[in-house]
């Protein structure tokens, strides 16, 4: 059997996902092709998602990953959702099978695995999170699943942050989940900070907040992996913060998606070693 997979998103022409999936398939001795579907290249938008997924199925794709800005917009087009995807309210992996689209979320499991491996003793007492989009929902779900007792979330889109806080508080009633009013408010008093907005990507350069708001006593986590070190991650490291890059999350979520696509178990540590 052979597999045809891909990634749907905007501004993703430089994504490392094809290399990760195809290299591990080659290591396992199986035929797998992974293609980029970048709506930015042909000025597509969320309105084109139904047509995109219709044609992906017609072309024989086994499944696709979904990234910014479509992780939440794709949900109405799906026939089934995994428990995690339903709880998080975001999908990053879609499987085409038996004429149905099933949505999954491997961002949260990938983030949790990377965080535990990189900072096993990090304090989860109070966490400040920047961003409330699709990746943010998965990261927040992961942190609360790992035992975070307080989570403050800020997004420039107030409705997004309000809705995410409400969803998470219902899912984790024993934790304190708050909507912050500013980045400064989010970081103030936090034992750790996680950056989940797209700001810092090659296609969205800059920083979501000034690094002067960070202290060396806080750990800092980034979800962006291209570039492998965002400006903010580099500044946090130079300040002395224990850091978690987005690379491990990218690799481990890809490994979980690979398993969903193929039904086969990849070598996660090998994928991590070979990322470069």
Confirm whether residue 182 is marked as ligand binding. Answer: no
Confirm whether residue 17 is marked as ligand binding. Answer: yes
H/E segment holding residue 139: helix 134-145
Compute how many other C-beta atoms are within 10 angstroms of the C-beta atom of residue 274.
14
Q: 135-172 burial, b if ≥16 CB within 10 A, otherwise e?
A: bbbbbbbbbbbeebebbbbbbeeeebbebbbebbbebb
> Do residues 154 and 185 touch, judged by C-beta distance below 8 A?
yes
Confirm whether residue 134 is marked as ligand binding. Answer: yes
> Do residues 99 and 80 touch, judged by C-beta distance below 8 A?
no
> Do residues 193 and 122 touch, judged by C-beta distance below 8 A?
no
Residue 201, both tokens: 């990507």
Confirm whether residue 35 is marked as ligand binding. Answer: no
Confirm whether residue 13 is marked as ligand binding. Answer: no
Looking at the DSSP assignment, which residues form a beta bridge with residue 8? 37, 66
Confirm whether residue 246 is marked as ligand binding. Answer: yes
Q: Which of 71, 97, 116, 239 does the annotation list as catalytic? A: 71
Confirm whether residue 212 is marked as ligand binding. Answer: no
Confirm whether residue 169 is marked as ligand binding. Answer: no
Confirm whether residue 128 is marked as ligand binding. Answer: no
Confirm whether residue 133 is marked as ligand binding. Answer: yes
Residue 235 makes CB contacts below 8 A (sequence gap 6+) with 207, 211, 214
Confirm whether residue 225 is marked as ligand binding. Answer: yes
For every residue of 55-111, DSSP letters joined together read: HHHHTT--EEEE-TT-TTTTGGG-SEE-HHHHHHT--SEEEEETTEEEEE--HHHHH
**DSSP secondary-structure letter at 219?**
E
Confirm whether residue 60 is marked as ligand binding. Answer: no
Confirm whether residue 135 is marked as ligand binding. Answer: yes
Residue 78: closest CA among 56, 95, 101, 53: 101
Catalytic site residue 152?
A: no
Confirm whether residue 273 is marked as ligand binding. Answer: no
Numbered residues of the known binding site: 15-17, 67, 83, 92, 107, 131-135, 223, 225, 246, 253
The catalytic residues are 71
Numbered residues of the known binding site for NADP(+): 83, 131-135, 223, 246
Numbered residues of the known binding site for shikimate: 15-17, 67, 92, 107, 225, 253
């Amino acid at each position: 059997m052979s597999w045809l997979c891909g990634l749907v998103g905007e501004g993703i022409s430089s994504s490392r996902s094809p290399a990760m999936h195809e290299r591990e398939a080659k290591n396992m001795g199986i035929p797998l092709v992974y293609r980029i579907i970048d709506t930015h290249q042909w000025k597509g938008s969320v309105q084109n998602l139904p047509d995109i997924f219709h044609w992906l199925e017609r072309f024989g794709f086994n499944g696709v990953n979904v990234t910014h800005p479509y992780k939440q917009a794709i949900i109405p087009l799906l026939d089934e959702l995994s428990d995690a995807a339903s709880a998080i309210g975001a999908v990053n992996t879609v499987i085409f099978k038996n004429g149905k689209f099933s949505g999954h979320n491997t961002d949260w499991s990938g983030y949790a695995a990377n965080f535990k491996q990189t900072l096993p003793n990090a304090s989860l007492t109070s966490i400040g999170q920047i961003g409330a989009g699709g990746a943010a929902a998965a990261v927040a779900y992961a942190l609360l699943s790992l035992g975070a007792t307080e989570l403050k979330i800020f997004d420039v889109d107030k409705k997004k942050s309000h809705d995410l806080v409400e969803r998470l508080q219902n899912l984790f009633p024993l934790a304190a989940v708050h909507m912050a009013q500013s980045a400064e408010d989010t970081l103030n008093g936090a034992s750790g900070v996680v950056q989940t907005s797209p700001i810092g990507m090659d296609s969205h350069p800059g920083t979501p907040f000034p690094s002067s708001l960070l202290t060396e006593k806080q750990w800092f986590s980034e979800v962006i992996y291209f570039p492998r070190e965002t400006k903010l991650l580099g500044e946090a490291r130079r300040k002395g913060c224990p850091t978690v890059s987005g690379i491990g999350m990218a690799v481990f979520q890809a490994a979980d998606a690979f398993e969903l696509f193929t039904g086969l178990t990849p070598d996660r540590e090998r994928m991590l070693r070979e990322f470069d």
